[in-house]
Chain A
Amino acid sequence: MILKICIQPDDFDTAIECARLTEGNKNVGALVTFTGLCRDDDGRLAALELEHYPGMAEAEIQAIAEQVQVRWPLDGLTVIHRIGNIKPGENIVLVVTASRHRRAAFEAAEFLMDFLKTNAPFWKKEHLADNSGAQSETGWVSANDADDDAIARWRTSKKT
């Protein structure tokens, strides 16, 4: 099992990350990638600023990755989360899962993203294209109830 967890300001190359998980391992029959991008919400947003808690952010992703490996038989798992200033259209987060069969790879990637959003200490601040638009007091994005619902459903779903 190859595991890579990385928090970095730099962009990532999805093709290179995929190749790392399949090179020399022909047991991999399924490779799933999820890429989270910065969207501009129809031109409203100029950039996102990503802040994290160094040390704890890596540890939380590591803890989620350990839960993933208990639930699904994976050959490889890569998580890269960017920090700093990110413009619309740019990458924020990458998850790659490699397994023998597709269901494990699909489900593991979704589980990892659901828990990362709720449990890993990252915060997004919006910088608007013009300052007249509707914005919360400080620009910090609020947590979403739908994200809590997303992790609750894994607690009730049966182990695969």
Chain B
Amino acid sequence: MKIIYFAWVRERTGRSQEEVDLPAGIETVAGLIGWLKTRGPEFEHAFENERFIRAALDQQMASNDTPLAGTSEVAFFPPMTGG
């Protein structure tokens, strides 16, 4: 599965995208965030305040309990500030 990071989530994780092999049992956005946070202090820092994290699955906005099944691209980013 491809994971993309934007804005300060990208800066905190220190990467713009990566390919990951999901461990068994990770089935939702919340589960994925929980697992990412175990991968190191940079991920702990990026996801420390989940209130400010938005997620998109295959470019569709998702919520914490959205299932990951069938998803090829997950994106994490802060609330939007365009315009």
Give the interface of A toward B (CB within 8 A). Answer: 36, 50-53, 55-57, 59, 81, 92-93, 113, 116-125, 137-138, 140-144
Give the interface of B toward A (CB within 8 A). Answer: 4, 6-8, 11, 56, 59, 61, 75, 77-83
Min Cβ gap B78→A in Å is 6
**B82 and A143 form a contact (CB under 8 A):** no
Min Cβ gap A121→B in Å is 6
Nearest 4 interchain pairs by C-beta? A122-B82, A143-B79, A117-B83, A123-B7
- Which residue of the partner chain, among B56, B78, B80, contacts A117 with CB atoms under 8 Å? B80
**A143 and B80 form a contact (CB under 8 A):** yes
Main secondary structure of the interface of A (DSSP, over half): mixed
A50 to B82 Cα, complex, angstroms: 8
A50 to B75 Cα, complex, angstroms: 17
Q: Which residues of A contact B83 (CB under 8 A)?
A: 36, 81, 92-93, 113, 116-117, 120, 122
Q: Which residues of A contact B56 (CB under 8 A)?
A: 53, 56, 121
**B6 and A53 form a contact (CB under 8 A):** yes
Most buried by B among A92, A116, A121: A121
Min Cβ gap A63→B in Å is 10
Most buried by A among B6, B7, B56, B61: B7
- Which residue of the partner chain, among A59, A117, A120, A140, contacts B8 with CB atoms under 8 Å? A140
